[in-house]
Amino acid sequence: MAAVKNALQAAASPGVDPRLLAQSARLDAVLEQVPLVIALFDEELRLIRASRRYHELTGTEGTSAQGRSIYDAFPNALADLDDLIDRVMRGEQVEPQRVGFRPRNAAERMLEVTFTPISHVSGAGSGGGLLFMGTDVTDREQLRADLARSIAQLETIFDVIPDSVRVFDADGKIARSNAQAALEHGAAKPEALEDLWRFDRPRTLDGVSLFVHEHPTARALGGQRVRGMSLTVRRDGGGENGEAVVEVNSNPLRDESGKVRGAVTVERDVTERTRLSRKLEDQLRLTAELYDVVSTEAERLELMVKERTQELLDLQEERSRERRLTAVGQLAAGVMHDVNNALNPIMAAAYLLEANANNPDAVRDYAQRIAKAAETGAATAARVGRFIRQEPLQGEREELVDLSTLGDEVVAITRPLWAERARGGHIALERRFAPDVVMRGIGGEIREALLNLVQNALDAMAGGGTLGITTAIRDGMACIEVSDTGTGMTDEVRERAFEPFFTTKGRRGTGLGLSEVYGIAKRHRGSAEIDSEQGKGTTVRLCFPLAAPGERAPKAAGPARVKSPKRVLVVEDNDDGRDFMRALLESDGHTVDAVSTMREALTRLGTLGLRYDVLVTDIGLPDGNGWDLVESARTAHPELRIGVVTGWEVRTANGSSANFTLRKPVGAHELLSLVVAAE
């Protein structure tokens, strides 16, 4: 502190001894090295020197802070230091204080600060200024807070443990116990192992009393580990005779050198568990006695059980077979219902096609209607396939569907049947279509749902009426409604209308039409609703998620394809299918060879040395699997374009060598486009 005193004199006096100046410079260097916040104030309590850490703490510059009053020297202190400074100046003995500071652009810091009169330290009498020193204890305080929080958490956990826990010191005195342990002896509070032993009077389950040195805790203090020792003890509020059964675990507590410094004992009340265990043992003993009594009947009873079990299994198998046959029959009825719905317009359009054979426009119109109805039948077959394989609707097969366009198609397909379904009455059409009512889905399935709804509406209007079809966008959903002015439904019928196999048509109905409509709506993430009033008519509303803005349903007619004649090998075991595919490809200018077996195909691809541009094959061949043919052809002819046509769901397994796959019935435009498509 003498150096500090000399530094004050050097700073305050002009023309001082150079040695004092040198000593002052050394003090500055020391201030920078000491890991403390230090500030020196002269006799007028004005700042004359400060360490770099002081400036960092207060956010001041060296020259700007020079000469500042001690009362203004700590602007960012979170506590008032004036009283502390005054007490020091009055000569009071002041302990170090913890004060928070908020440095500029930094987190809050906690310092332990002292103000020391320099004269007191140097022994030079009164006056001489003040020395401020601060030690950063932020990290220490944080650690202390974290430790206190951890201790509080551990104490809470310690107290909520449902078992009683006691910690003993090396002399057997109880150093700590949890809340459960405090409840076990009522007003009596054991303070040591001997007290606990005297209160509990522990005995083994066989009734042998334990001496104090045999207690699990005493053994743990001797260095042993005790696990799962069951004892009968006396407890406040215990069961019969004020006794309880506890399971005791006790461990020694050792220091770093391995010396035992105490023990921890955990006791779990297992009175009820022991009672149940004994009861179970009694029941097992009784069971064994009963078994001995009936042992002579055991073989006969076992035989009877086997026979009865076999009878039950046979009955269960018979009923299971009946349920399967019923389900197959119901599925067949549903498929027949949907296929008939698709065949009706095909047969009508085929008749009209023949009647108007000399009218090209009519021929083209009826051919398109037949194609649409066939697509609906294909959607039915695909749905049955997914049902058999339990496959969900595959998003990659979805397309943009304009509900207004679909409504027009269904009207066109069904119009020839209106008079028949309405039993000769006149059917008027109310068509209210909004633009851009577009969704994503499988057009064939949505068309089939609308076909079901239109035919139900016609059935409900015996003698004629008005058929309404409306499309609209409501609450972000693409909606289409089919309404009629027929008989309507009662509330009971309307509530059950979507149930499978529920019908009001008697033997004429299967009860699968509206349930299929509901299933199609749900598979397309949509909804189906019915509004009906008896005697006034019915409206069925289907709503689906609206397609993204700007999307439109694809136009029926696309740009003209560019013909590029190819040499094509067709492998199809069905004679009609093979002939039609050959005719279709030849109509587009291709040279086609058609065979019915895998062997013929491999012969043409291999030993005959014929070169083909495209191979189109079925999967189910009489002498092999079409996928094997695909792999063989790809290995022998890497450049060959290969297509697969199958009546089953298209296989999407990774690693297939086919360039394209199609599911029957095949669209002519799609097949012709894929045959000539570039890789």
SS3 at position 12: helix
Place of tokens 């955990």: 266
Q: Poorest-confidence range of 4-18, 241-255, 603-617? A: 4-18
Same domain, 400 and 506: yes
* Structure tokens belonging to residue 293: 């009594």
Instruction: Say if 12 falls within a structural domain.
Output: yes
Q: Which of 213, 244, 269 is the last residue of a domain?
A: 269
Q: What is the phi/psi pair of residue 407, to 5°?
A: -60, -40
**Domain-located, residue 193:** yes
Last residue of a domain, one of 486, 511, 545: 545
Residues 585 and 538 in one domain: no
502 vs 137, higher pLDDT: 137
Q: Cα(204)–Cα(284) distance, rounded to whole angstroms? A: 23
Q: Based on the fold, state whether residues 608 and 483 are members of the same structural domain.
A: no
Looking at the domain assignment, is residue 306 inside a domain? no
630 and 659 share a domain? yes
User: Do 113 and 208 belong to one domain?
Assistant: no
pLDDT exceeds cutoff 60 at 552:
no
State the pLDDT at residue 471: 95
422: in domain: yes
Sign (positive/negative) of CA torsion 389, 526, 414, 332? Answer: positive
| DSSP symbol at 560 | P
Q: Do β-strands 37-41 and 47-50 pair in parallel, antiparallel, or remain unpaired? A: antiparallel
- C-beta atoms surrounding 510 within 10 Å: 22
Give percent of the chain with pLDDT exceeding 70: 80
DSSP 242-301: GEEEEEEEEEEEE-TTS-EEEEEEEEEE-HHHHHHHHHHHHHHHHHHHHHHHHGGGHHHH
Question: Which strands sit side by side in the sheet containing 477-484, from one edge to the other?
Answer: 426-432, 464-474, 477-484, 537-545, 527-533
Whether 329 shows a pLDDT value over 90: the answer reads no
Closest C-alpha among 378, 300, 376 to residue 341: 376
Give the model's confidence band at 581: pLDDT under 50 very low, under 70 low, under 90 confident, else very high. Answer: confident
**H or E segment to which residue 476 belongs:** none
Boundary of a domain, candidates 513, 545, 577: 545
Read off the pTM. 0.37
Residue among 340, 378, 363, 348 at smallest CA distance from 670: 378
Report the range out of 232-246, 417-431, 570-584 with the highest average pLDDT.
Answer: 570-584
Question: Are residues 129 and 249 located together in one domain of the fold?
Answer: no
In this structure, of 58-67, 100-109, 130-139, 647-656, the range with the lowest mean pLDDT score is 647-656
Q: Which of 43, 60, 5 is nearest to 27 (CA)?
A: 5
d(CA 73, CA 113): 14
Q: What is the signed CA dihedral for 561, 564, 566, 569, rounded to 10 degrees?
A: 0
Residues 432 and 510 in one domain: yes
**If you average pLDDT over residues 224-243, what whole number do you get?**
83
The CA-based angle 47-50-55, given to 5 degrees, is: 105
Nearest to 539 by CA among 456, 476, 598, 615: 456
Q: What is the CATH number of the domain that holds 189?
A: 3.30.450.20
**Which CATH number goes with the domain that contains 585?**
3.40.50.2300
**Residue 23 within any structural domain of the chain:** yes
Region for residue 484 given its phi and psi (left: phi exceeds 0; alpha: psi -120 to 50; beta: otherwise): beta
The answer to whether position 58 is within a domain reads yes
Same-domain status, 424 and 462: yes
CATH of the domain at 338: 3.30.565.10
* Structural contact between residues 487 and 504, judged by C-beta atoms closer than 8 angstroms: no
The mean of the pLDDT values for the chain is: 81
Residues 372 and 508 in one domain: yes
Domain holding 578, by residue range, is: 567-676
Task: Say yes or no: 500 and 583 in one domain.
Answer: no
Shared-domain flag, residues 411 and 503: yes
Residues ≥6 apart with Cβ < 8 Å to 190? 174, 196, 198, 199
- The mean pLDDT of 658-667, rounded to a whole number, is 83
36: which 2 tokens? 């403390």
Longest CA span, the chain: 134
Q: What percent of the chain has pLDDT over 90?
A: 31
Residue 318 domain-assigned (yes or no): no
Report yes or no on 555 lying in a domain: no
Beta strands of 485-625 (E only): which ranges?
527-533, 537-545, 567-571, 591-595, 614-618, 620-621, 624-625
Cα angle value 502/530/519 (rounded, 5°): 60
Nearest alpha-carbon partner for 622 in 572, 588, 670, 559: 572
Give yes or no for residue 335 having a pLDDT over 70.
no
**Helix pair 443-460, 360-389: axis angle to 10 deg:** 100
Same domain? 203 vs 110: no
Q: Rounded CA gap, 348 and 325, in Å?
A: 34
Of 340, 534, 539, the closest CA to residue 457 belongs to 539
**What is the domain count for the chain?**
4
45-70 pLDDT, tens digit per residue, is 999 988 888 888 888 877 778 889 99
Distances in Å between the Cα of 670 and the Cα atoms of 556, 662, 663 are 13, 9, 11
